[in-house]
Amino acid sequence: MKNLFLFAVALLFSFSASSQILKPVKWSYVSKKISKNEAIVVLKATLDEGWHLYSQNMADGGPIKTTFSFAPSKTYTLVGKTIEPKPITKFEKTFDMNVSYFEKTALFQQKVKFTGANPVVKGTVEFMVCDDQQCLPPETVEFSVQLDPKK
């Protein structure tokens, strides 16, 4: 009985060690100063081949849309909404609706105004990705971008 238990535990570990954790999206963040007291925060998604990242502007009932949440701060204010490039829009049977998505890369941009010293833009991005065979559960990642108002 003890050998059977040890075999089951070893089998479980071998399955978990061989299972692959999919991470088809890599996020990077930079800022570009555009005036004396303003900058653009660029949030870049780089996707593995064959994967789709969904637009911020999706109707309910489909895949989870990409959503940016910015932490309140006394050192910066948001100017307008986060903008995105023009997505690909197609009807998908899986969701029985038109969906808007990005392939390969997507650059999201948020304009900010400096209101204090040493501003750091912090927040989260929630997103969902799918390929032709599967959709991964929604994921939330944190980001932090140091702004340099002196440059």
Read off the pLDDT of residues 51-68 as tens digits, 9 standing for 90 and up: 999 999 998 899 999 999
> Does residue 78 sit within a domain?
yes
Mean pLDDT of 40-52: 97
pLDDT one-digit tens code per residue, 6-42? 333 333 333 344 456 889 999 999 999 999 899 999 9
Q: How does residue 147 score in pLDDT terms, banded at 50, 70 and 90?
A: confident
6 inside domain: no
103 lies in some domain:
yes
Assess if residue 132 is contained within a domain: yes
> What is the per-residue pLDDT across 89-135, written as a single tens digit (0 to 9) for each?
999 888 899 999 999 999 999 999 999 888 999 999 999 999 989 99
Number of domains in the chain: 1
Residue 105: domain span: 24-146
Q: Tokens standing for 26?
A: 């890599």
Report the C-alpha gap between 124 and 112 in whole angstroms.
16
Residue 36 is given by DSSP the state T
Q: Is residue 119 part of a domain?
A: yes
Q: What does the radius of gyration of the chain's CA atoms come to, in whole angstroms?
A: 20
What pLDDT, on the 0 to 100 scale, is given for residue 149? 61
Q: What is the CATH number of the domain that holds 70?
A: 2.60.40.1250
pLDDT of residue 108: 98
Reduced to 3 states, what is the DSSP secondary structure of residue 62?
A: coil
Asked if residue 97 is part of any domain, the answer here is: yes
Tokens representing 126? 């929630």
User: Is position 1 within any domain?
Assistant: no
